[in-house]
Structure 1
Amino acid sequence: MSVLSDVLDLVFRRTMRVTVPAQATAAAMPRLIEDLLSSKGEITGVMTARHILDRYNVMTDAEKLQFFTHLAEDLDLDHADLETALHALKAKPDRKSYDRFLAAAEPRRQELARRLNRMPGATRLLVDMRADLLRLVPPDDPIARIDSDFRHLFASWFNRGFLVLRRISWESPAHILEKIIRYEAVHAITSWEDLRRRVEPEDRRCFAFFHPAMPDEPLIFVEVALTKGIASSVQSLLSDDRTPLAAHEADTAIFYSISNCQVGLAGISFGNSLIKQVVNDLTAELPGLSTFSTLSPMPLFSRWLLEQGFDASDWTKPQLLAAAAYYLTSARRNDGHHYDPVARFHLGNGALVHAVHAQADTSQRGKKDSLGVMTNYLYDLARLEQNHESFANQKQVAASPPVQTLTQSFQSVEVLQNA
């Protein structure tokens, strides 16, 4: 099928060189979009989709904004039709009226995206299009409502059933390894040798999700260290002079870096499924693994301290760890959600806050973001569902007894500043 798609794509491109004007302007887009939405023939539709996406690809940012405005204003819901369909459904709730209501409740831009996606290679281009939308349109702009359509469609196109888990090793294709280096978002990979230390030794693993429509683009990946006991600093995991551990001797898997790769898939959740699948695969490969934990950054800890008016420059280690424990278990945004995005992710997956560590990340970024503090989230497989439900429904944070004790020792600004 991949070979056939490539052949068809080549034919479409050659055909359009002959039949379609070369200039790429936003002004002609509405006509092309209507042509695609009204097209009945598959080949004609794919050719038109290719032409639309080729034109979009060479647009300036101003022209892309004009394109998004057209999607928002001219391909929006027909409110009168929707109201009529709703009344008909209420009056006679049969299949016909329900189908009509569903059709009226969907803006035409969703069907446009589906028809564009029929073109070989279009999925990646649509993901990039959403990245442009997120970059160019502020969330409070009325045009931003079209992002809900992207998210709705991508949630279906990228659901777990379509994702493929692949292990990334030193034998993986070079273009995939290059993208792992580029997309690493937590602990920068500084060289090919640095990457080799993370994927080649038998006590190191890297796994990534791929989608069949984007086979050469990782969607998300996780780096794993196999250890004895739970690690307390990233320096020990990334050291270039450490002695590798035989994989069968490890009792713990440490997830020390999780990176989302595609800006255009922001908000589409892969991490929960990724961790669960990796745990299953590692358990099957290495039955001696009994503990699954992270060594995670606290990217907003320093910002939160400043917002609270804290000056941590002369704090003792116990004071810093107490504040970190309180931050992880109790700090909230104005909307009531947990302050820290990494905490929201792992707690939402059912993990618990196991420990906090000072001087755990002594890199420049680690010191800037969290004063070097990192945390372990423990994935206790027997408690995942219970912890998830408590966090999702009551916003309760599961934490180990030592972390709870540290949290309780954190009193107030005055106590810390006068200690």
Structure 2
Amino acid sequence: MPPTPKASQSLHGGSKSEASLFLSDNSKRALEKIRDLMRDAIQMKKNELPDLTLSKLREEYLKLDWESRQRALLVLATQFGVDRKRVHDLISHYESLSTDGGEESDAAEAARYRTEHDLRSALMPLSARLFEQMNGQAGGLKFLVDLRADLIATVKEKNLAALRALDSELKGMFATWLGPACLELQQITWANSAALLERIVVYEAVHPISNLYDLKRRLGVGRRCYGYFHPAIPGEPLVFIEVALTNEIVGSIQNVLFEEPPIAEEEATTAIFYSISSTQTGLAGIDLGHFLIKRVVRLLRQEIPNIQTFVTLSPIPGFLKWLLPKLKLQIRYAQVGAEDIIEMSDPPSTTFKENLLLPEEESNLVEACGKDKESISGMQILHDLLTSSDHEWAKSAKLVEVLRAPLMRLCARYLIVEKKRGRALDQVTNFHVRNGASVERLNWMGDTSIKGLETSAGIMVNYIYRLENIDTNNQAYLNKGIIAASPAIEQYLQSRL
């Protein structure tokens, strides 16, 4: 739905082009029309039928170019918010009802309740009433989802308090409207409509679907795909998950994607969740995947009682984004010397010096590359290998073996130890451990695709959902920041520097 935003556009015409400093007459008229339609829709009484007005509002908004849409959102955020004067007056009135601690009469207590009710009503922005009206109309929910996608992009470009508040309000309403009780779980198969299957191909965000044969294999025997649907957005999943049915925990995504299922479905003992994709930018921050995984687990246990192991095969998209800057910083320390850091014109943000490699790991790296330890450090070699343009190291059996120990150890540290505000630094880890999973196993060269090598040096991770431990793991993480991990993962951490 949204037109592509351009970097040169802004809410206030902040483009280098002089013409963009002012709205054209057509744009002014379109914006006035949008404002009037918003006001009409909000002021309608419950017994009136706002279908025509809301349909017209949607139609006019969709005609707008990107800059005009941003302006319309700013109008909605600033001119249809909370009546602050009324809120102030109600607060003053409420304070005037305060007693000196004695008992209140029934009339006084009733007045207090009425004022509290009026205050709650006054604190609801007018925009929320518009959203409620729109959600009640055919096509309204989808329009609001797409509108929030515009809003998210606008907030990113113009970080204004009014726009942030509008986004928070709409996000909160989505969280209510899209609860598990409102969503339908459906299995997606090759027999579904071509339009739906095309959406699966387009929205698959983790492991792109290359062709129809690839799609058919993912929906065939030994594979499952489930989606959450909302009745108001038919034929389009809000989020979907792909599952492989096997007899063991698999560590290679290439095996899952391209090899035939090893066993018949009814003999499967393990369900591997290898991809989960959200389809709506406008639902960012709405945790639908959390509910989807648990629903699918319950369904699979009913359909295939032999399945007792529920595990993911997950990417680690942030690993090298974390590791490479740390390597670069420590290389810089080694070259300059800690005592000279203070005198640098652009000193690092941290003065913490560490060797990221164990002595044996560094020696093995230097030897494998035929280098002199006195002339180049192991960290420099590691950085150069991981940033090589064609990932040549992945084609060398010797280098693959030498890099395994340090990268697996550092990856375990990244997943378990590295945190931000008490939560896992890795977003995928945060998602699964918050859902009650534990970190089960790291898989060396689990994803040998270009994307896998570029983001995680080919490492993938299995998060396991042990049903009896889900609540305990969830509470330990939310209350204490503890990430549950298997003994194999803990072993990597014991060899930390």
- Between the two proteins, what is the percent identity of the paired residues? 35
Q: Among 343, 356, 380, which residue is 2:442 paired with?
A: 356
Match of 1:323 in 2: 410
Where structure 2 has 5 or more consecutive residues not aligned to the other structure, the ranges are: 1-25, 98-107, 329-378, 386-398
1:42 CA drift (Å): 5.5
Q: Which amino acid aligns with 1:48?
A: T
Q: Among 164, 171, 183, which residue is 1:163 paired with?
A: 183
Cα deviations across residues 113-165 of structure 1 (Å, max 9, x unaligned)? 11122321111011000001111222732222210111111111111110000
1:77 and 1:166 map into 2 onto residues whose CA distance is 40
Bigger CA radius of gyration? 2
- TM (norm. structure 1) is 0.88
1:291–1:380 contact (8 Å) kept in structure 2: yes
Cα deviations across residues 253-295 of structure 1 (Å, max 9, x unaligned)? 0000000111000101111110111000000001111100000
Q: Among 463, 469, 479, which residue is 1:383 paired with?
A: 469
Cα deviations across residues 358-406 of structure 1 (Å, max 9, x unaligned)? 1100111111111111000010111000000011111110000110110
**Residues 231-310 of structure 1 correspond to what in structure 2 (within 5 A)?**
231-239=250-258, 241-309=259-327
For 1:217, what is the secondary structure of its paired residue?
coil
Match of 1:14 in 2: none
Q: Find out whether 1:181 has 2:201 as its counterpart.
A: yes
Match of 2:174 in 1: 154
Cα deviations across residues 289-316 of structure 1 (Å, max 9, x unaligned)? 1100000000111100023226533762
**Residues 15-414 of structure 1 correspond to what in structure 2 (within 5 A)?**
25-40=30-45, 44-89=49-94, 91=97, 94-138=112-156, 140-142=159-161, 143-201=163-221, 203-239=222-258, 241-309=259-327, 311=379, 312=382, 313=385, 316-333=403-420, 335-411=421-497
1:345 and 1:62 map into 2 onto residues whose CA distance is 35
2:246–2:261 contact (8 Å) kept in structure 1: no
1:35 CA drift (Å): 1.4
Q: Assess, with a 3 A threshold, how the Cα gap between structure 1 residues 195 and 297 changes in structure 2: closer, same or farther.
A: same
2:34–2:57 contact (8 Å) kept in structure 1: yes
1:249 CA drift (Å): 1.1
2:212 and 2:93 map into 1 onto residues whose CA distance is 63
- TM (norm. structure 2) is 0.75
1:87 CA drift (Å): 4.2
2:245–2:261 contact (8 Å) kept in structure 1: no
For 1:98, what is the secondary structure of its paired residue?
helix
Q: Which amino acid aligns with 1:61?
A: W
Q: Which amino acid aligns with 1:277?
A: R
Q: Which amino acid aligns with 2:237?
A: P
Q: Assess, with a 3 A threshold, how the Cα gap between structure 1 residues 352 and 41 changes in structure 2: closer, same or farther.
A: closer
1:44 CA drift (Å): 4.6
2:243–2:271 contact (8 Å) kept in structure 1: yes
2:270 and 2:63 map into 1 onto residues whose CA distance is 49
1:45 CA drift (Å): 1.5
2:469 and 2:448 map into 1 onto residues whose CA distance is 32
Where structure 1 has 5 or more consecutive residues not aligned to the other structure, the ranges are: 1-20, 412-419
The alignment of Structure 1 onto Structure 2 pairs a total of residues equal to 387
Q: Which amino acid aligns with 2:256?
A: L
Q: Which amino acid aligns with 1:75?
A: F
2:148–2:170 contact (8 Å) kept in structure 1: yes
1:377 and 1:370 map into 2 onto residues whose CA distance is 16
User: Which moved further from structure 2: 39-48 or 373-382?
Assistant: 39-48
For 2:271, what is the secondary structure of its paired residue?
strand
1:30 CA drift (Å): 1.6
User: Which moved further from structure 2: 293-302 or 335-344?
Assistant: 335-344
Q: Which amino acid aligns with 2:243?
A: V
Match of 2:23 in 1: none
Match of 2:366 in 1: none
User: Which moved further from structure 2: 361-370 or 43-52?
Assistant: 43-52
Q: Which amino acid aligns with 1:214?
A: I
Q: Assess, with a 3 A threshold, how the Cα gap between structure 1 residues 178 and 194 changes in structure 2: closer, same or farther.
A: same
Cα deviations across residues 208-262 of structure 1 (Å, max 9, x unaligned)? 00001101111000000011111111011111x4254201111100000000111
